[in-house]
């Protein structure tokens, strides 16, 4: 009997406990493909000592850290632990951006084959690119396969375009079946709508980070019709306090509700309760937007921004919603108003959104494509 190929995932964090798109993606891959592959995950710890843990049956090695700088874990032991864990791996699967992992690969020089999912460029820490760019280019040249999430990102990334021949785009996927309106979910959605006076609801789900562009949505709210429309913001993060301050400053405290982190079922119920989903992200850090796919799978039209990333490829302008200029509150207001004031348009775009999510972005499709990459790469390493 042939043994399973052993895959070592390398990133900064894992879900749970850290809530984030990349963290959940790693978890989904390990759980979804463990019948065919053996997975181990290597991440940074929140304390100095190294230790093993287990997350939903997935062995996770957490490397001791002395804090973080520009979001990168400071882990002096990361290269040494990587070299040791890589001895038992057939493939190392890196998730970028993660300067700690990329530098560790260059220092450790593991013998295992390697692939990298390129989730995003580094955008905010431009000052660090002078030091980081040479490291990233050297790292990418050592990858057997690079996995961007969309073809569009390959074309628009200065780091990926020169390596086009080794890139294979695999769109991220979600469990679209979990987004169905079961009787329990439908009942919860009705209660949520009643809680907000059955007013038109605009939803957002995600980490509250600067690149998410939530101030532009709040600025747009005074121009959105009908004027009783309210915004539900699900998630937490460093921008929570500034957003709380901004909604008071703009005089929309009673119309903007920060709900914090919710359970998966609560998120789905809220997505069914809203009328329209808004993803106002304005920087390339938003390379894809998994949350908009969840909303689409729940039958909701999306208003997002025209970024040089996969975001406008996921949400097709005029079909599954509207794509507007970034950092443009008036454009957001016009698109959201159009959907809120036209029930037939909202329903039609919502149905098209659900159809696209199911046909293009179901997790099973993503897992099949990724499993094929693993098999092809592992052929040259396994007896």
In contact, 19 and 235? CB cutoff 8 Å: yes
Residue 127 has a pLDDT of 67
Per-residue pLDDT tens digits for 26-50? 999 999 999 999 999 999 998 889 9
Q: What confidence tier does 194 reach under pLDDT thresholds 50, 70, 90?
A: very high
Sign of the torsion formed by the C-alpha atoms of 295, 301, 305 and 310: positive
Per-residue pLDDT tens digits for 295-328? 999 999 999 999 999 999 999 999 999 999 999 9
Residue 17 has a pLDDT of 83
pLDDT at 170 over 90: yes
15-30 mean pLDDT: 89
343-371 mean pLDDT: 98
* Distance (Å, whole) CA 317 – CA 320: 7
Poorest-pLDDT segment among 32-41, 70-79, 100-109, 268-277: 70-79
Residue 382 has a pLDDT of 67
- Beta bridge pairs of residue 113: 91
Residue 16 has a pLDDT of 81
The domain at 176-360 falls in which architecture?
3-Layer(aba) Sandwich (3.40)
* Distance (Å, whole) CA 154 – CA 161: 6
Per-residue pLDDT tens digits for 99-154? 999 999 999 999 999 999 999 988 766 667 778 899 999 999 999 999 999 999 99
Domain ranges of the chain: 5-173+363-378, 176-360
* Distance (Å, whole) CA 6 – CA 34: 10
Who's near 200: CB < 8 A, 6+ residues apart?
226, 228, 229, 230, 275, 276, 340
The domain at 5-173+363-378 falls in which architecture?
3-Layer(aba) Sandwich (3.40)
Mean per-residue pLDDT over the chain, rounded: 95
Domains 5-173+363-378 and 176-360 share a fold: yes
Q: What confidence tier does 227 reach under pLDDT thresholds 50, 70, 90?
A: very high
353-378 mean pLDDT: 98
């Amino acid at each position: 009997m042939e043994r399973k190929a052993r895959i070592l995932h390398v990133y900064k964090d894992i879900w749970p406990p850290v809530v984030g798109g990349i963290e959940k993606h790693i978890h989904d891959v390990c759980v979804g493909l463990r019948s065919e592959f053996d997975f181990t995950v290597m991440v940074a710890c929140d304390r100095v000592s190294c230790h093993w843990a287990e997350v939903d049956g997935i062995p996770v090695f957490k490397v001791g850290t002395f804090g973080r700088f520009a979001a990168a874990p400071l882990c002096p032991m990361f290269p040494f632990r990587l070299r040791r864990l890589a001895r038992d791996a057939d493939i190392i699967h890196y998730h970028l951006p993660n300067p700690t992992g990329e530098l560790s690969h260059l220092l450790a020089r593991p013998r295992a084959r390697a692939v990298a999912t390129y989730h995003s460029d580094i955008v905010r820490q431009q000052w660090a690119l002078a030091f980081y760019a040479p490291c990233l280019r050297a790292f990418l040249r050592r990858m057997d396969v690079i996995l961007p999430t969309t073809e569009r990102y390959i074309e628009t990334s200065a780091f990926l375009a020169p390596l086009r021949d080794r890139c294979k785009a695999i769109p991220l996927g979600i469990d679209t079946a979990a987004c169905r309106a079961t009787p329990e979910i439908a009942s919860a959605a009705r209660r949520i709508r009643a809680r907000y006076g059955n007013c038109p609801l605009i939803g957002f789900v995600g980490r509250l980070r600067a690149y998410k562009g939530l101030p532009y949505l709040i600025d747009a709210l005074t121009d959105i019709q009908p004027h009783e429309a309210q915004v539900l913001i699900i998630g937490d993060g460093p921008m929570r306090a500034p957003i709380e301050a901004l909604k008071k400053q703009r005089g929309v405290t009673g119309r903007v509700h920060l709900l914090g982190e919710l359970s998966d079922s609560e998120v789905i119920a809220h997505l069914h309760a809203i009328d329209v989903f808004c993803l106002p992200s304005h920087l390339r850090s938003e390379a894809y937007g998994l949350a908009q796919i969840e909303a689409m799978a729940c039958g909701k039209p999306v208003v997002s921004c025209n970024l040089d990333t996969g975001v406008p490829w996921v949400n097709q302008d005029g079909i599954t919603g509207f794509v507007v200029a970034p950092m443009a509150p008036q454009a957001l207001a016009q698109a959201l108003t159009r959907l809120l004031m036209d029930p037939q348009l909202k329903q039609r775009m919502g149905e098209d959104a659900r159809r696209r999510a199911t046909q293009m972005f179901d997790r099973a499709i993503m897992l099949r494509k990724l499993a094929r990459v693993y098999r092809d790469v592992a052929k040259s390493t396994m007896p």
